[in-house]
A and B are shown apart, each in its own frame.
Chain A
């Protein structure tokens, strides 16, 4: 962790005073969107209209909903905590905003698509 911090500190300027609360809420949204992504993907697969494109997740979904949920929520929780540990650096905020935007796009697409079935 200290190595990572040193690397980020060399590369990334610090965020302003409002950066930390924005990062906090962005990470909250990211975590919630990740759960929504899991729920929508599982529902689409259960309906028979979707398949998991990610090989790793496909393996865990094949094992069952609980292992898939454990892996997906677990790995994103670790990532969210990692970004929170780096909260003083602008890179963490940029990464969180980018990931949240991408995941929001994926979840919205899935929601529209499932509603159209």
Chain B
């Protein structure tokens, strides 16, 4: 005979509720976090391997050797003290010469191309833009805060920027063939513009050295420009009918250095002129000299040799000395704060930067 069992009494829900604080539950929940974390770390590593800037950084007995990889080329290096910046393909890289640590400063998420950067003791400044654009936005990286910020938008770029302390300068086209020199205080954002006939400016303190080729004469010249007074001083100008061109120039303190090249003979001359006294000091003569770079009274340049170059240095009033010898075909030399760097190509055509302490 079938009997119907008494219905069960209502269950005590509270007694059936599982404890929420069991270590097993905590660990099982953590599995999703750990697995996700591993996927995120692997994704970061893969992106670095596939998409980031590729450089080989090696510490040498004298300093550093940085070689471009992945088919990218280095451009426009700049040096200030213990900081080296340069363009590597579409990237702007910053290297701390004490630690060898590399930072990728640009391009930002909105852009795909950069122009050559400049570094001062406090900032790195550069232009970046969408790929193929001629108008760029000027960005700055602040060493103190570690922040990257926009300082000027939609600039019709006519020169690369340069920086000294909190001051950055560049030239921009402003329509009808006119150009202006923009000087910006990177700390306050205050901008000042001066109408100039083109030119590629370099700045140290309040003195700008600009190489330009006025359309009236068509000859290379270097002028010094005081940012406070706007006063311009002609430092060097190619003689009419000569085949002289200015292949390099630099500014430090109240001195401007430059390199003449006679395109008819290939001979080069490096000179330094004091902006106040206009006294010129010959520094070096030779075929195909590269540079100069200037830091206080120290001038550095490169002399091509068979299978490489000699990096030379001279303290004004002293004798020139060899700083280093390299197997690179050198295109840029830099000196700042007791550090000498140069950039060139190795035998395989790869871009290489070499850095050493100055013995001078």
A interface residues (Cβ-Cβ under 8 A, vs B): 17-18, 20-26, 28-29, 33, 46-51, 96-98, 100-109, 112-113, 116-117
Which 6 interchain pairs have the tightest Cβ spacing?
A: A104-B36, A108-B40, A25-B29, A21-B25, A48-B148, A105-B40
- Contact between B18 and A108 (Cβ–Cβ < 8 Å)? no
B31 to chain A, nearest CB (A): 8
How far, in Å, is A37 (CB) from chain B's closest CB?
11
Q: A21-B25, A50-B109 are in contact. Are A104 and B148 (CB under 8 A)?
A: no
Give residues in B with beta carbon < 8 Å to A.
17-22, 24-26, 28-30, 32-41, 43-44, 48, 103-104, 108-110, 139, 146-150
Q: Is the CB of B43 within 8 A of A20?
A: no
Chain A, residue nearest B16 (CB): A17
Q: Which of B21, B26, B40, B149 contacts A112 (CB 8 A)?
A: B40
- B130 CB → nearest A CB, Å: 14
Q: A100-B36, A104-B33, A107-B40 are in contact. Are A25 and B146 (CB under 8 A)?
A: no
Contact check, B25 vs A25: say whether CB atoms are below 8 A apart.
yes
Residue on B nearest A99 in the bound complex, by CB: B32
16 residue pairs from A and B, CB less than 8 Å apart = A18-B24, A18-B28, A21-B21, A24-B25, A26-B29, A29-B32, A47-B148, A48-B139, A48-B150, A51-B109, A103-B36, A105-B43, A107-B37, A108-B44, A116-B104, A117-B146
- A104 surroundings in chain B (CB, below 8 A): 32-37, 39-40
Contact B149 A48 (CB under 8 A): yes
CA distance A103 to B36 in the complex (A): 7
Contact (Cβ within 8 A) A24 B36: no
Cβ-defined contact, B28 with A101, below 8 A: no
Do A101 and B29 have beta carbons less than 8 Å apart? no
14 further A-B contacts with Cβ under 8 Å, apart from A17-B18, A26-B29, A108-B39, are A20-B20, A23-B29, A29-B30, A48-B147, A51-B108, A51-B109, A51-B110, A98-B32, A101-B33, A102-B36, A104-B39, A108-B38, A109-B40, A116-B103
Q: What separation, in Å, do the CA atoms of A18 and B24 have in the docked complex?
A: 9
B32 near A101 with CB under 8 A, answer yes
Once A18-B25, A21-B21, A105-B43 are accepted as A-B contacts, the answer to whether A100 and B108 lie under 8 Å apart by CB is: no
How many angstroms from the CA of A50 to the CA of B19 in the assembled complex? 42
Answer whether A29 and B44 are a contact pair too, CB < 8 Å, given A48-B149, A117-B103.
no
Q: Are B20 and A21 in contact (CB under 8 A)?
A: yes
The answer to whether B43 touches A18 (Cβ under 8 A) is: no
Considering the complex, give the chain B residue whose CB is closest to the CB of A28. Answer: B29
Taken together as a complex, chains A and B put the C-alpha atoms of A96 and B32 apart, in Å, by 9
Tell me whether A109 and B18 are in contact (CB under 8 A). Answer: no
Is B21 within 8 A of A109, CB to CB? no
| Among B32, B41, B147, residue most surrounded by chain A Cβ atoms (within 10 Å) | B32
Question: A109 touching B32 by the CB < 8 A rule?
Answer: no
When the two chains form the complex, which single residue of B20, B36, B48, B110 contacts A101, counting CB atoms closer than 8 Å?
Answer: B36
Q: Closest residue of chain A to B150, judged by CB?
A: A48
Complex interface: chain B residues within 8 A of A26 (CB) = 29, 32
Which residue in chain A gives the minimum CB-CB distance to B19?
A21
| Min C-beta distance of B272 to chain A, whole Å | 38
